[in-house]
Amino acid sequence: MRRPLIGLTSYSQHVQYNGSNQEVGMLPIAYVRAVHATGGRAVLVTPDDPGVDVLESLDGILFAGGGDIDPATYRAARHPATEADQPRDTAELMLMRAALDMGLPVLGVCRGMQVMAVATGGSLHQHLPDVVGHERHRAAPGTDPLAADAADFGRHEVVVQEHSAAFALLGSRLTVNSFHHQAVDDPGTFTVSGWCPDDRVPEIMEHREHAFALGVQWHPERTGDLRVYAALAEAAARRSGLHFPEQQQERRAA
């Protein structure tokens, strides 16, 4: 039986390829590998020619990390540090609202969690250092903040709300990496169920009216802890009546 098909939102960018400058649809391969490692089959959803019809072919969807969301989408003036990707905003806000309406299993990672908030009427802090007074939520360039030899910059704890879906999946506390300068202010129709204990910045959101709609502010695909990816694949398989191999459940206990 086929694997659950998981859409991954992506972005377009001009790159040098085969000696010429080309616009390409792209996403770090770590997302794809995380989906495959936890039992799903990944397919990229590019921001060009946006439409919700693609959701009809998917069993679940992951909204990936990336650039800032245009503050005009939540009726705010632009901060000097904000660099928006308007075509991607248009596509992803449309897809997020439609996926939630359909009850499609949804996972938001970093920017993807912020899209969840904005798509349901919430808002963002455009430049987190202005709010919390430090830049520890951004990792040092070129480092993997959860590697054994990495500096502490870009790594922090997350406390999880008891009796939440996130608590059942992740436990009461975990260490995460950190790559963002924006953060959720108003979560919209989502509920914040995890936060950084040092400054109360939201790190996990969930929607309690959906079988699986979870957002995390960190990048689990760059760590060995793929429990949220496994939960997405399992929810996608369950929704579509697909067999979910027992060996994939092992990722739930990273």
- Answer yes or no: is 207 within a domain: yes
pLDDT in tens, 31-52: 999 999 999 999 999 998 889 9
What three-state secondary structure class fits 229? helix
Domain of residue 51, residue span:
5-14+21-126+181-253
Would the pLDDT of 143 be above 60? yes
The pTM for the full model equals: 0.92
- Answer yes or no: is 173 within a domain: no
- Answer yes or no: is 112 within a domain: yes
Task: Return the pLDDT at 30.
Answer: 95
- Answer yes or no: is 140 within a domain: no
**Is 110 labeled as catalytic in the residue annotation?**
yes
Active-site residue identified among 92, 110, 125, 206: 110
- Answer yes or no: is 153 within a domain: no
What three-state secondary structure class fits 183? strand
- Answer yes or no: is 135 within a domain: no
As a whole number, the mean pLDDT across the chain is 91
- Answer yes or no: is 66 within a domain: yes
Neighbours of 134 (CB within 10 A): 11
Q: Which of 42, 30, 5 is nearest to 224 (CA)?
A: 30
Query: Is 105 within 8 Å of 59 (Cβ atoms)?
Result: yes
N- to C-terminal Cα separation, the chain: 26
Contacts of 83 (CB under 8 A, 6+ apart): 67, 68
Q: Count structural domains, the chain.
A: 1
d(CA 254, CA 251) in angstroms, rounded, equals: 5
pLDDT band of residue 196 (cuts 50, 70, 90) is very high
Q: Which of 112, 138, 225 is nearest to 173 (CA)?
A: 225
- Answer yes or no: is 232 within a domain: yes
Give the CA-trace dihedral at 24, 226, 137, 179, to 10 degrees: -10
| Cα 151 versus chain centre, distance | 24
Q: Which of 29, 106, 93 is nearest to 61 (CA)?
A: 106
**% of the chain surpassing 70 pLDDT:** 91
**Is 219 labeled as catalytic in the residue annotation?**
yes
- At 187, which amino acid appears? P
Give the CA-trace dihedral at 163, 154, 147, 143, to 10 degrees: 150
Would the pLDDT of 113 be above 70? yes
Active-site residue identified among 92, 203, 206, 221: 221
Active-site residue identified among 206, 210, 219, 234: 219
**Is 221 labeled as catalytic in the residue annotation?**
yes
Query: Of 13-17, 114-118, 182-186, where does mean pLDDT reach its minimum?
Result: 13-17
What CATH number is given to the structural domain containing 105? 3.40.50.880
